[in-house]
Structure 1
Amino acid sequence: MRTFSITSKSLILGLMAMMNIVFAQSYPDRPIVLVVPNPPGGLVDTSARLLSEPLTRVIGQPVVVDNKPGASGNTAYQYVAKAKPDGYTLLISYSGYHVGNPALMDKLPWDPIKDYSPIALLTVSTNVIAVHPSVPVNNLKEFISYAKANPGKLNYASQGNGSVSHIGTEMFKQTTGVDMVHVPYKGSGPAIQDVLAGQVQVFISTPPSLMQHIQSGKLKGLAVTGKNRHPGMPNVPTTAEAGLPSFQLESWVGLFAPAGTPAPVVAKLTESVKKSLALPEVKERADAAGVELRYQNPAATEALVKKELPYWNKVIKSANITLD
């Protein structure tokens, strides 16, 4: 009886494996949907649209973008987590949600590891540490020294409570030991207005928000927080070049499928994404949008998530960051 049970189990597993292979061979035979947790525009939506057109050509079926903003990203994340794991409904995931929301929200309706199968890392976007010209510093070292000598006298802007600019600046504070006062805004537009007016002295945000003001001299760009200098601000050093290698802040965008998606389907998607991002015209479009392409395979993408989850959680809890 036991032998029959084991044999039956092995037969079932073998049949399931064969079905997955057959399914993968015919996949895809209809359009693929990229669910985006943000409205049109911005890093996440831009990354989705950078991928959709070339992936359509590479994989042989239409790849369409479906923006589902709402509930700090949870609308899209929950939708994909509950979707059929067949490779036709995929999530364009944003680091601010994927590793930030688990620490910001007590009862999250999705799990960042268990509910998704990583397909690939797509893009990253650096941030820039910018200050108003009234701050008497010329580089990052001078700024840190000045801030330490004047605790609580500098105000920093963010795009809102729990935003990447908020969490990232708290990371900077914890890394350097400086003390600055948080002033939250509803988006980067009003934040930049007050920084340009000198009512708030510091803003750590993405290049599209700050680049033109740094180029014009209305703000001082002290450092880029990524691995490389930004092509639009070649004279602004990285934090490592500026003497602070321990601080990096990059926002990333990755592609994920619902957990349980057959491994052959994930493999086909991964290879198709890799080919799509390697096309020269995709890099040209990414450069024009100020986005850096950075493909990573599923294992490396999963490792990135697992590495950042405890780090973001520690920063958020230590700084007592909430969405309210």
Structure 2
Amino acid sequence: MINFSGMVSNVADEGSAKRVFSAKFFLARVAALELEQVVVEEINVRSLAESIARRGRGLGNRECYEAQKEKRDRRAQQNSPQPWWWLGQRDPIVRLTKWLVIWTALLFAGTGVSGAILWKTDITLRETLEVNQRPWLAISATPIADAEISDSGLFLPIEYSLKNSGRTPAVGATIEDDLYVGGGAFDVPDAQRKACSRNQVKLKDDDLGVGYSVFPDDIVKSQNTLSATQDQISGAVATNDAFQHAVKIPRDKTSLNIWIVGCVNYYFTFGDEQKVHQTGFALQVTRNNQVGYVRSTDKKVPLSQVMIDRNSFTGGKAD
């Protein structure tokens, strides 16, 4: 008799064993796969590390090459010729700074030059205005009475005429004059220089004012009696006598060399300053007769024979 229950039991045991074996095999397979994956990952990590190391060594070499190349280029650039506008500086920032300094200095110098030009132009314009608009006084003299010679000396009444040929009034005009009587030569320029070097009258704004105001194209007359002492006349005679004995030339010892020498001082008011101007004059007194000069022995020289003339050899002063 067949034992079906035993067979079933055996079959059941055999199936259970298979299932256990299959489970163990599956677990072993999973463990193997996991181990294999771990090994692969470790290999990959090592490969990656080696690759990174190789790349690191390659990057270091590259950087060294680039540094050496840059050094060579920089040395070549330093040894290469520089344009003049680089100002000896290869650094563009330093070059720009130098150019800014130079430009600032040029601007400063240009400003100074412009200021000097403007100052000079202002002075020139002021001088031009002064020359074109200022007054100019001329002086002349005429006798108004007989010239007399006595024991007291020589007396010559004259009248001065001041004429303004400028464009603005001349104010504070005064006349400084002297009568010189001598014999022989006479240093007229020196006498005129002394007359113009005396103290010049210069009015202040709060003064009442002295001197004449002469307007453009106006003529102001002033009378005066000039005189010389008898000692001057005697000295002239003595000079003539000494001159005659020295040069052995006949000469009238009584001849008198008579000069009117002086200076006109005046100023004008426009502008910042009141600058005193002067007109120097030197006039020779002669006699209109056959002799041509005044003698010490003359008691009176008629008005019709008294002559007062400018002498072209003496020059004059006008400023």
- TM-score, normalised relative to structure 2: 0.28
**Structure having greater relative contact order (Cα 8 Å, sep ≥ 6):** 1
More strand by share: 2
How high is the TM-score relative to the length of structure 1? Answer: 0.28
